Amino acid sequence: MPAFAAAMLMALATPGSLAQLTPERLYYGRDRRMPVVVETPEQFAGEIEIELRTRGVAEAVQTAPAASGRVDLAALFPSLWRSETPTTLYAQLVLDGAPVGAALVLQPMLTPNYAMNMSEQNPMLPVIGKGRVMFEDERVALRHQSGLSDVSEREIVYSGIRAYVDRHVILETTAGDIRFRLRPDAAPNTAFNFLHLAEGGLYTDVIFHRVVATLPNGAPFVIQTGDPSGDGSGGPGYFLDLEPTTLRHDFGVISMARSDDPNSNGSQIFVCLSREGTAHLDGRYTAFGEAIAGADVIERIGAVEVGENDRPVDPPMIIRARLVDAPPLGQEPDRVSKPEHAPTDR
């Protein structure tokens, strides 16, 4: 497509022109219809397609022709229900070859991979408190290798799909704004939980109650927030299980804070200040998103004066969390990098 035509199409595909793929509901049971609505600009009369994509891969997994109005995504893509190894996919609306609107996140509803603390000396023995975090697939494999079970893999039930429009979360703080791209492809349940809490207003007037600028070895560590009570022990009134993630901890990556119990995640989150300071958290904490704007703000919060227990003397605050539709897949900026300059006060 000529660059000018593509630019004109993108100009048409604004929220006001209704170029968007929208699910009729949040949950779809397996082997059932998946009605979604294809909205296009009123004047548009070109080719309409829907692509199934995986994040970070240039080529679409599958492409199907579509039309404006109500369509059945399961009929367009029967493989959604037939996959033996279902993973999170994205459905992207494409008009005349150009992706438009935020993609739909298509998260398979699968039996959770439950984590437990196991003894460091005897990984077959569960312990209360600190221990070696092991997910069920690891425990099953270990029992099988030890001859204690004939089952070498855990049973996984695929019951359907959770479908929603891909959205970014902007934390408006007293130090500036930080924009996060969520990664449901890496940690789907945790990403959705954060989206739900942000949309529901939990992150309103919530302070950064813990700032660890550096560890004893000098590596930058984390800034932590998300406790409505402000003292570091509160949460949303429920716990979320630890979830395995493919996203590594690194500067700008957002992850779940918890107690020694691996399944005590809730609303408390931390943002990493460096890879060298947080690499040891991989596999033990659930990273679920990454900052795509606001690197200076992260650094600014990480540089505040702290007192006892790493509590800021004058805590920065999240004023509110705001949700915005993500751009089409492939048009998002890269994750932020650690600024080379020293942070300055606002």
Interval 291-306: pLDDT, tens: 999 999 999 999 999 9
pLDDT, tens only, 147-182 = 888 888 999 999 999 999 999 999 999 999 999 999
Q: Taking residues 212-229, what's their average pLDDT?
A: 97
Q: Residue 327: pLDDT above 60?
A: yes
Query: In the prediction, which pLDDT does 11 show?
Result: 41
How much of the chain exceeds pLDDT 70, in percent? 93
Q: Please check the confidence at residue 198 and state whether its pLDDT lies above 80.
A: yes
> Which of 288, 235, 244 shows the shortest CA–CA distance to 264?
235
CB neighbours of residue 80 within 10 Å: 23
Same domain as 314, residue 180: yes
Query: At 343, is the pLDDT very low, low, confident or very high (cuts 50, 70, 90)?
Result: low
Whether residue 339 lies inside any domain: the answer is no
According to the model, what pLDDT value does residue 90 have? Answer: 98
| Residue 331 in domain | no
What type of residue is 114?
Y
> Do 28 and 79 belong to one domain?
yes
Domain range enclosing 135 = 115-155
- Indicate whether 333 belongs to any domain: no
Whole-number pLDDT of residue 342: 54
Checking if the pLDDT of 124 tops 80, the result is yes
Q: Which of 10-14, 90-94, 253-257 has the lowest mean pLDDT?
A: 10-14
Same domain? 171 vs 151:
no
- 208 located within any domain: yes
For the chain, report the end-to-end CA distance as a whole number of angstroms: 44
Give the pLDDT of residue 339.
Answer: 87
In a domain, 92, yes or no: yes
Q: Where is pLDDT greater, at 236 or 146?
A: 236
The residue-averaged pLDDT of 124-130 equals 93
Reported confidence tier of residue 2, pLDDT bands at 50, 70, 90: very low
What confidence score (pLDDT) does residue 43 get? 84
What would the two tokens of residue 244 be?
């395995």
Average pLDDT over residues 269-273: 98
For residue 255, the cross-strand partners are 270, 287
203 and 254 share a domain? yes
Whether 70 shows a pLDDT value over 90: the answer reads: yes
Please say which residue of 93, 109, 125 terminates a domain: 109
Mean pLDDT of 100-119: 97
Query: Which DSSP string corresponds to 303-318?
Result: TS-B-GGG-BSS--EE
Q: What pLDDT is attached to residue 56?
A: 86
Q: Is it the case that residue 6 has pLDDT exceeding 60?
A: no
Residue 265: which residues within 8 A CB-CB, separation 6 or more? Answer: 190, 193, 239, 240, 241, 242, 256, 257, 258, 286
pLDDT higher for 57 or 16?
57
Within this chain, do residues 197 and 266 fall inside the same structural domain, yes or no?
A: yes
In a domain, 253, yes or no: yes
Decide if 38 is inside a domain: yes
Say what the pLDDT of residue 214 is. 96
Structural domains counted in the chain:
3
Q: pLDDT value at position 286? A: 98
Q: Mean pLDDT for the chain?
A: 93
